[in-house]
Amino acid sequence: MSNIQAACACGAHAVSLPGAPPRVTICFCADCRLRAGAPFGIATYYPSDTLVLPELPVRRRVAESGRWLDERHCPACGSVL
């Protein structure tokens, strides 16, 4: 499969993804609802060594379980890349 191009809502930042994601999740936790501004959040996950991510501010979210997730936000539009 060819690469998939993704971008934030304003188009200022983009990332090239190596084809279909190996994992897609739908989550109803409070953090995902806040991030998405919706009743649930959808996210795709790739091995970190397969991505070249844009230089953006990183927000680390830590769950009650202790597991963590780093999110990169576009400073202009707030989208998560």
Which residues of the chain form contacts with Zn ion (CB under 5 A)?
8, 10, 12, 27, 29, 32, 74, 76-77
Return the number of the residue (31 or 46) whose C-beta is nearest Zn ion: 31
Return the number of the residue (24 or 76) whose C-beta is nearest Zn ion: 76
Per-residue burial over 17-50, b = 16 or more CB atoms within 10 Å of its CB, e = otherwise: eeeeeeeeeeeeeeebeebeeeeebebeeeeeee
Give the nearest distance from C-beta 32 to Zn ion in angstroms. 3
Give the nearest distance from C-beta 15 to Zn ion in angstroms. 12
Structure tokens at 3: 């690469």
Give the nearest distance from C-beta 10 to Zn ion in angstroms. 3
d(CA 55, CA 47): 18
Return the number of the residue (7 or 18) whose C-beta is nearest Zn ion: 7
